[in-house]
């Protein structure tokens, strides 16, 4: 089978500190121990977006010694406890996450699933994927299946089509969502053939993950255009990251640019309490201030929910002033159930 352009790009990605050091003329030694624990990969497209060490693209993709800080949680969202079978996370009654891939085109240094993404020994077998489909088929309250991972769109076309067909054929599944960062990091993956496959399983919603205006490239815009023209509904989930996008003007520029690309800003995420990502976290006040500054100057279409995914599998909560309660030094977040959950805030 001939190698497609996007597959060749993956092969050409930077995956070792030595390759990165040669490209930027720096010492690879400090990066080795980080990459040994948390794998690295930077696609050629994303690498070209780095203008200099320490810029917003570099921070998202290049290993950092601060990742070895053990502050935070290995499994911040309690996903292991919510997995009835290895390929499925069932947190909410009517929807599940279906983990179909353990690989990404570029490994984000702030990833919630740092513990498993990029690790070959944790990749799911065909039997485990079939067990996941069987679980979905046997659970009639599931109406919404979210393909995630890793990145589902790194699967070869025939494998992805097969999984989509099997899930789409389950009578009680009403829609499929896909979470993918390839429109940002590997836009050449969004081929006409892929769009034709996705069209067959409507309704499909694709949430991608742009974090900074510099990621809004001509190539990414073309990829999103191909998806939108194929009838795929596009949303974006941005993670609030210290030193990357934690200023109102950056977020405003990003969200305006996304709307021009027919991508609706869907969530602004508070950084999860993931081990190895503490240096990316901002205070919740930072996020609330950004949302406050968006209202009025920016179209309501570009005003997403600012959400926090509470630790322990308590679920996503939109953050508005009434849901944030301070009792002395304690910060409490009101969950959908009305329960007040203590949260360890970051001090700016």
Q: Which of 41, 109, 113, 189 is catalytic?
A: 113
Q: Following CA atoms 33, 62, 246, 283 in sequence, which dihedral angle do they give, to the nearest 10 degrees?
A: -10
Given 38, 46, 64, 104, the catalytic residue:
104
Binding residue numbers: 104, 108, 111
Per the annotation, the verdict on 119 as an active-site residue is no
Which one from 64, 151, 246, 309 is the annotated catalytic residue?
309
* Nearby residues of 54 by Cβ (< 8 Å), 6 or more positions away: none
Please choose, from the candidates 143, 134, 177, the residue with its C-alpha nearest in 3D space to the C-alpha of residue 266: 177
Of the candidates 38, 46, 95, 107, the residue annotated as catalytic is 95
For residue 309, indicate whether it is catalytic. yes
The residue annotated as part of the active site, out of 64, 75, 272, 345, is 272
> Distance between CA atoms of 62 and 41, rounded to whole angstroms?
8
Tell me, yes or no, if 144 is annotated catalytic. no
Q: Given its phi and psi angles, is residue 294 left (phi above 0), alpha (psi -120 to 50 degrees) or beta?
A: alpha
Binding-site annotation, residues for [4Fe-4S] cluster: 104, 108, 111
**Is there a catalytic annotation at residue 108?**
yes
Closest CA to 41 of 210, 224, 182, 177: 182
Choosing from 38, 316, 343, 345, the catalytic residue is 316
CB distance 74 to 296 below 8 Å: no
Spatial distance between the Cα atoms of 128 and 99, rounded to a whole number of angstroms: 10
Catalytic residue among 108, 181, 267, 281: 108
Contact 205, 233 (CB under 8 A): yes
DSSP assignment of 224-282 equals HHHHHHTT-EEEEEEEP-TTTT-SHHHHHHHHHHHHHTT-EEEEEEPPP-BTT-GGG--
DSSP helix/strand/coil, 124: coil
Q: Is 134 a catalytic residue?
A: no
> Cβ atoms within 10 A of the Cβ of 168, count?
15
Catalytic residue among 41, 111, 246, 345: 111
Looking at the DSSP bridge assignments, the partners of residue 147 are: 98, 178
Assess whether 343 carries a catalytic annotation. Answer: no
Q: Respond yes or no: is residue 81 known to be catalytic.
A: no
Contact status, residue 179 vs residue 207, Cβ threshold 8 Å = yes
Of 64, 75, 91, 151, the active-site residue reads 91
Summary count for the chain: helices (H), strands (E): 12, 12
Confirm whether 193 is a catalytic residue.
no
The span from the CA of 252 to the CA of 254, in Å, is: 5
Active site residues: 91-92, 95, 104, 108, 111, 113, 272, 309, 316
């Amino acid at each position: 089978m001939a190698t497609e352009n996007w597959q060749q790009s993956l092969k050409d990605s930077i995956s070792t500190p030595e390759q990165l050091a040669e490209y930027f003329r720096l010492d690879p030694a400090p990066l080795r121990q980080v990459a040994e624990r948390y794998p690295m990969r930077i696609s050629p497209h994303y690498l070209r977006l780095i203008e200099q060490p320490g810029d917003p693209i570099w921070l998202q993709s290049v290993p950092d010694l601060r990742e070895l800080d053990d502050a935070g949680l290995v499994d911040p969202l309690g996903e292991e406890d919510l997995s009835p079978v290895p390929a499925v996370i069932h947190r909410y009654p009517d929807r599940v996450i279906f983990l179909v891939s353990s690989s990404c085109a570029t490994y984000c240094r702030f990833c919630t699933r740092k513990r498993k993404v990029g690790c070959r020994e944790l990749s799911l077998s065909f039997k485990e994927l079939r067990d996941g489909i069987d679980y979905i088929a046997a659970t009639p309250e599931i109406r919404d299946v979210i393909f995630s991972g890793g990145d589902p769109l790194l699967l070869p076309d025939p494998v992805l089509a097969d999984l989509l067909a099997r899930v789409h054929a389950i009578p009680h599944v009403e829609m499929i969502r896909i979470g993918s960062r390839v429109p940002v990091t590997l836009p050449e993956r969004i081929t006409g053939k892929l769009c034709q496959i996705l069209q067959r399983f409507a309704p499909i919603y694709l949430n991608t993950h742009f974090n900074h205006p510099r990621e809004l490239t001509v190539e990414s815009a073309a990829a999103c255009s191909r998806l939108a023209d194929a009838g795929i509904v596009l949303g974006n989930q941005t993670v609030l990251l210290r030193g990357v996008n934690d200023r109102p003007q950056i977020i405003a520029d990003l969200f305006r640019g996304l709307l021009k690309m027919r991508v609706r800003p869907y969530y602004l995420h508070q950084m999860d309490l993931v081990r190895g990502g503490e240096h990316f976290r901002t205070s919740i006040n930072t996020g609330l201030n950004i949302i406050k500054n968006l209202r009025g100057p920016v179209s309501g279409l570009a005003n997403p929910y600012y959400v926090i995914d509470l630790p322990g599998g308590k679920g996503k909560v939109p953050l508005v002033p009434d849901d944030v309660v301070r009792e002395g030094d304690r910060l409490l977040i009101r969950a959908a159930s009305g329960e007040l959950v203590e949260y360890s805030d970051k001090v700016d």
